[in-house]
Amino acid sequence: MLLLIDQDNVLADFSRVIYTEMCARGHRDRAVPPAKQTTYPIEEQYPPELLGELKSICAAEGFFRSLPPIEGAVPAVKEMVAEGIDVRICTHPIQAYRNCVGEKYEWVERHLGAAFTTRMILTRDKTVIAGDALIDDNPDITGSCAPSWRHIVFDQPYNRTVAGPRLRSWANWRAVIDPMLASVPLRTGAAGSVVGVGVI
Ligand SMILES: [Mg+2]
């Protein structure tokens, strides 16, 4: 099974840090607590006059590197690889990519180990990436192609109306993934293995 896993708000707690940064910058009255986020993307829930602040928070040095892991995500992903699932982290960099791209890799290295960085795919169009399934909080993933993967919705307050398989927490990943393994074979994916050829 080739399993694509999104990073922000699936592995890394993006919305929580947006909220705390908005509060720290003096916008507590209009900051969106993660439990009350009703839109994807988050900027649709902020007034136009705060969009510059929102962009500034996301583009700042240290933002993506500092995101705390979503509860249970790190052990779950390690278990998946150890059990032979070919996990790839499929993530959408922001347009102001300079800090974001490197720090997304740093986050993976810090929490999952250096070898895991070889499992990263950065794209703003996930429909062009092949896979058996994609675990993603985005309720409406669109792009240039018909997706080859099945969307497993990672539960967040803003995607609760979407039908289909849903991962409510990382603690019960087997309940969602194991039934799919009946129809999709495992691939080799030893824990910590490097993906791709060469040492550079
Ligand atoms: Mg996401």
Verify that 170 and 79 share a domain, yes or no. Answer: yes
Q: Is residue 24 part of a domain?
A: yes
Q: Is residue 199 part of a domain?
A: no
Verify that 172 and 108 share a domain, yes or no. Answer: yes
Cα 182 to middle of ligand 1, angstroms:
27
Q: What does the DSSP assignment read for the chain? A: -EEEE--BTTTB-HHHHHHHHHHHTT-TTT---GGG--SSSGGGGS-GGGHHHHHHHHHSTTHHHHPPBPTTHHHHHHHHHHTT-EEEEEE---SSHHHHHHHHHHHHHHHH-GGGGGGEEE-S-GGGS--SEEEES-SS---SS--SSEEEEEP-GGGTT--S-EE--GGGHHHHHHHHHTTS------TTPPPSSS--
Cα 199 to middle of ligand 1, angstroms:
30
Q: Which two tokens stand for residue 145?
A: 């192609």
Verify that 54 and 149 share a domain, yes or no. Answer: no
Number of domains in the chain: 2
Verify that 50 and 75 share a domain, yes or no. Answer: no
Per-residue pLDDT of the chain (200 residues; tens, 9 = 90+): 999 999 999 999 999 999 999 999 999 999 999 999 999 999 999 999 999 999 999 999 999 999 999 999 999 999 999 999 999 999 999 999 999 999 999 999 999 999 999 999 999 999 999 999 999 999 999 999 999 999 999 999 999 999 989 999 999 999 999 999 888 877 655 555 788 888 88
CATH of the domain at 73: 3.40.50.1000
Verify that 134 and 48 share a domain, yes or no. Answer: no
* Domain interval for residue 96: 2-11+68-181
Catalytic-labelled residue, pool 6, 13, 132, 137: 6
- Residue 136: active-site member: no
Q: What is the pTM of this model?
A: 0.96
Verify that 50 and 87 share a domain, yes or no. Answer: no
Q: How far apart are CA 133 and CA 141, in angstroms?
A: 13
Verify that 49 and 94 share a domain, yes or no. Answer: no
- Residue 178: active-site member: no
Q: Is residue 169 part of a domain?
A: yes
Q: Is residue 102 part of a domain?
A: yes
Verify that 58 and 85 share a domain, yes or no. Answer: no
Q: Is residue 162 part of a domain?
A: yes
Q: Is residue 188 part of a domain?
A: no
Q: Is residue 196 part of a domain?
A: no
Q: Which two tokens stand for residue 94?
A: 């922001």
Residues with CB under 5 A from ligand 1 (ion): 6, 8-9, 137
Q: Is residue 21 part of a domain?
A: yes
145 Cβ contact partners less than 8 Å away, ≥ 6 residues apart: 125, 127, 128
